Amino acid sequence: MLVKQEQKIIRILRLKVTDKPGYLGKVATLLGDAGANIGEISIISQGPDFIIREISLQLDSEEHLRNVQKALASLEGVEINSILDPVQQVHEGGKIIMRSRVPLKTLGDMRRIYTPGVAQICRLIEKDITLSRKYTGIGNSVAVVTNGTAILGLGNIGAVAGMPVMEGKSVLFNELVGISAVPILVEDTTVAGVVDVVKSIASTFGAIQLEDIAAPECFEIEEELQKSLPIPVLHDDQHGTAVVVLAALINIAVKTRIKLSEATIGIIGLGAAGTGIAKLLKAYGVRSIIGYDIREEAMARLEINGGKRNDLAGLMENSDIVVATTGRPGLINPNLIRVGQVILALSNPDPEIHPDTALSMGASFAADGRTINNALAFPGLFHGALKANASRFTDRMLTAAATAIAAQASGDLLVPSILDHHVHQAVSEAVEKAWFS
């Protein structure tokens, strides 16, 4: 069951602060006492006896912001000039745009790019359709498809409201691996409707990424599209998340000396993410998987995929490793933690149990979802599949991606930084190699 949580907000306060020792310290102390999480602080301008500073804050809500404003208003030598919303600012006008890769400065350019020269390329592709990957952008393009039924932790808010997420995915594709990704919004919540739309436009793209589509429809949509299309189709909420969880578990196993193939892994919440994790763990060689979900169809699906059902207490009692993806903060009672257990409580923004609490109850290792981000997986997965001209994603490709991610983590990190381009290159190479092996 998904529980909607109030989203934390980011605001930038532009403050006029008296330019004397101690005043900035007073501001920081007040903000800390008010529960505001301080980020970047920068100087915008300076006057004869004051400094204009911008302070980035993470806050719990709009009410929290109003309380901070009231507190600052009572502080001598400090004046609020304005309050900026950096998230809205970066989204104004959208985050993506289609740009030309070739110059258009002369009539000669025009003739080569468009008419009459382009007819030559059309004829080549007419004779051999595989040349479309060489002479068009199809071979380096991905459709990011949603119907808006499971957007982040917000639920069924509609396809258009999900567009900022799809644009964000497109930015990551382009910046991390150079793929041209195009958001596709489908105004249909039925399996047949989504499948028909995607099939009708699929020839435009080299691969299809399904995004934020609710379970159980997401399973049928992915299965139907992969059966009928000659290009890779992947539901990121299932498989991207599963890849990164497996990468984290590979490194956790080393730290805790657990052998994954012999461990019993319990999965709490068997929606898209939980089901994807269960499937990939089975493919990796984990023999014992038990699961819990309040939905009967989800439990039945687990059994079809080789897992066993249990209730929450039974799962906690019998699992060496627990992975929770329910969206229900505080679901796991601390008293259910077994000494030596590994706990991954992955729901954001608030986990099923806080890692510190789990550790205090005897867990050998505990983490939440802040670092388990599927953006570590999907750019390299698709880049590798496109380079290999693969027709589908295989379990071998997914496990290869997880192993590559795990190998890139250094020190005490479970997984590496999302912004490390070497990680995505390593994933791409591993996925491409796995397709041919």
* Domain co-membership, 221 together with 323: no
* Domain co-membership, 156 together with 263: no
For residue 223, what are the CA distances in angstroms to 151, 193, 194, 202, 226? 21, 14, 12, 15, 5
Confidence of residue 280 (pLDDT cuts 50, 70, 90): very high
CA 92 to chain centre: 22
362-385 per-position pLDDT tens digit: 999 999 988 889 999 999 999 999
What's the mean pLDDT in 177-202? 98
At residue 6, the pLDDT reads 54
CA angle 172, 174, 176 (to 5 degrees): 60
* Domain co-membership, 304 together with 369: yes
Q: Which residues are catalytic?
A: 114, 169
Q: 68 pLDDT exceeds 60?
A: yes
* Domain co-membership, 296 together with 414: yes
Rounded to two decimals, what is the model's pTM? Answer: 0.89
Q: Give which of 297, 296, 290 is closest to 313, Cα–Cα.
A: 290
342-362 per-position pLDDT tens digit: 999 998 778 999 999 999 999
Residue tagged 């991954």 (tokens)? 344
* Domain co-membership, 225 together with 299: no
Mean pLDDT of the chain: 94
CATH of the domain at 168: 3.40.50.10380
Last residue of a domain, one of 215, 231, 247: 231
* Domain co-membership, 282 together with 254: yes
Residue positions counted in the chain: 437
Helix (H, G, I), strand (E, B), or coil: what is residue 132?
helix
* Domain co-membership, 271 together with 402: yes
* Domain co-membership, 381 together with 364: yes
* Domain co-membership, 205 together with 315: no
At residue 3, the pLDDT reads 39
* Domain co-membership, 188 together with 308: no
Count of structural domains, the chain: 3
What single DSSP character describes residue 399?
A: H
Last residue of a domain, one of 56, 71, 91: 91
Full residue range of the structural domain in which residue 283 is found: 238-437
Confidence of residue 2 (pLDDT cuts 50, 70, 90): very low
Q: Give which of 74, 90, 222 is closest to 146, Cα–Cα.
A: 222
* Domain co-membership, 300 together with 215: no
DSSP string, 34-62: TT-EEEEEEEEEE-SSEEEEEEEEEES-H
Strands 37-46 and 50-59: antiparallel
What is the enclosing helix (H) or strand (E) of 13? strand 9-18
Confidence of residue 5 (pLDDT cuts 50, 70, 90): very low
Give a yes or no: residue 215 inside a domain.
yes
Last residue of a domain, one of 213, 231, 249: 231
At residue 214, the pLDDT reads 94
Give a yes or no: residue 120 inside a domain.
no
8-35 per-position pLDDT tens digit: 899 999 999 999 999 999 999 999 999 9
* Domain co-membership, 263 together with 164: no
